[in-house]
Structure 1
Amino acid sequence: MRELVYYVATSIDGFIADPSGGFDAFPMEGDHMATLLADYADALPAHVLDALGMRAPGTTFDTVIMGWNTLRPALDAGIESPYPHLRQVVASRGDRRVADDVTLTSDPVDAVRRLKGEDGLPIWLCGGGELAGSLRGEIDRLVLKRNPVAFGAGVPLFGHAGYSPQAFTLRATQRFESGVTIDEYVRRDERQSA
């Protein structure tokens, strides 16, 4: 069965974006970038890959799911299909117009469960926080790029999801001179701890 991987940048105080949805306070330069480009190039938008002279390797993810507010900055910039190298699914409570290669869903939990039942690479949960909160029970792996900045306020990692502890095990941590850490967690199987 395919995994749902929440791969996301976060501040040290747990925010994935500033209060207006921006994330330009996260460092985009430093020694951590080589690892991100090597291990997670599939998670780069096509226009960024083009600017870097790269192609998506298709080895990490083959599907992305994101919320409407995560897609909106791309749409505002005139980019209707930010990840054409991936199967794109956008969660929205409203009926929206999307590009032909983007699938719209009003039920992200059902969509993820169906996607997990298909063959393929892991599914990337791109964000935002509210979508991550609604999919928290479906997340198999967390990959958090912790940036050395505290926001104080903004978009929380899991939005405004209610209290419901879910155990994860730390699989790996990478530390960089830039102050960024990449922490990888896997969901703990509750049946083993019972």
Structure 2
Amino acid sequence: MKQLFILLISLGILSSCNQLKKTENQEQIIVKRKTDLMLENLEKKYTNYKENQIVRESMQNDLDKKIDSVYKLNFLDDIPVKVFRMGKNPHGKGALIQFHTDNFDTDNRNLLSDRLNFDIVGFMTEEKASKLKEDGTYLISGRMLKRLDKTEVFLIVPQVYYSPGTEISKDVIYDEIFNYNIGDLLMEIDHAKPVKK
């Protein structure tokens, strides 16, 4: 009877451990971002883009059009961006802050939006900018003004993290992964919420 009692307690403990593991795994359910559905639909439409440059170029053109239709709707405000450069605005009042995406998680490759790369050239008040950390990661919101072409980018800033323009390209480190580069965006930043990494 004593052994049966010990066995039942052991099974109960194991069961609760399994439930904890399940709960931990359930808590790791991936919450998709606004752009994930758009990227998933592109991958479904262009199923063999990884093996065919012609298909990839068509997909790239489609991505370019879709981004132009969604960036002003704040579809990018749930993607963490990291400070690239900051300083006083050389073109007027306030501060000029450059951000770039830095989201890719090698342990969790399920979110397509983690492979969506872009720069933000942002204007904000010096008061708000003074609260940012130079190596900080933020969710930023405000008014997206436009996507910048190459000439516009380099009239405003000397350097950006990603190249201006839309491109779907193979990752330098992980061969099976393709990244979505959507270029550089000009923004009036109202709010920057710190993200813990």
TM range (shorter): under 0.3
**Under a length normalisation based on structure 1, what TM-score does the superposition of the two structures give?**
0.23
TM-score normalised per structure 2: 0.23
Which one scores higher on RCO, CA 8 angstroms, separation ≥ 6? 1
Larger radius of gyration: 2
Larger helix percent:
2
